[in-house]
Amino acid sequence: MRKNIFTLFLFIAVTSTLMAQNKVFTKSGIISFYSNTSLEKIEAVNKKVLAVIDAANNKIEFALLIKGFEFEKALMQEHFNENYLESDKYPKAVFKGSFVKTDAAPVIFTNNTTQTWEITGNLTMHGVTKLIKLAATIVVKNQVISAAGTFKVLLSDYNIKIPAVVANNINKEIKINITLPSLQEMK
């Protein structure tokens, strides 16, 4: 009887901990991309990505401001905003996706674990919405939840036109990395 009560107590304690962390978020996610051709290296980073993981429903969403991307060279940043992404007209990029269940397991934030996931969802950017796939990991270490992922974007899919004169300076397909450090419980 005593053992049963202890087991029940332990079950409630564990369940409530997991339930409390069903929805986690950050306002300080990082998205970076890198284009490397023989003519030019282009690197940009956005450190203010808003992201929410809803573990109970296996959902993830993130949003960012296009003007939040920072480049080493001012001219690149100006061209990126004014000519390529047209950030005055399309100020945000938004992703809404789901964790694909590979083994029917839900996303659970169990301490000291690393989970590998495939995420599929719609990325809206530059006025275009397309289905993309991300390869992602969720790491829980010392009670701190963090996530990371990568995906590729074909510029032509999003109507991003690169002028012929610099077409060889920029990769046609861009690899994008996302890092969500220290996800906090959503109250």
Cα(151)–Cα(119) distance, integer angstroms? 10
**79 binds other proteins, rule: CB under 8 A:** no
Using the rule CB under 8 A, which residue among 9, 12, 57, 72 binds other proteins?
A: 72
3-state SS assignment for residue 116: strand
Q: How far is the CB of 42 from other proteins (least distance, A)?
A: 12
Name, in order, each residue with C-beta under 8 angstroms of 79's C-beta and a sequence gap of 6 or more: none
Among residues 22, 34, 43, 48, the one that binds other proteins under rule CB under 8 A = 48
Q: Is 90 in the site for other proteins (CB under 8 A)?
A: no
Residue type present at position 120: T
Q: Is 91 left (phi over 0), alpha (psi -120 to 50) or beta?
A: alpha
Which structure tokens are listed for 143?
């009670």
Return the number of other C-beta atoms located less than 10 Å from residue 58's C-beta: 17
Backbone angles phi, psi at 68, to 5 degrees: -80, -5
Interface residue with other proteins, options 77, 115, 124, 177 (CB under 8 A)? 77
Site for other proteins in 49-68 (CB under 8 A): 50, 63-65, 67-68
Nearer to other proteins, 73 or 161 (CB): 73
Is 47 an interacting residue with respect to other proteins (CB under 8 A)? yes
- The residues binding other proteins (CB under 8 A) are 27-28, 47-48, 50, 63-65, 67-68, 70-75, 77, 81, 87-88, 91-92, 181-182
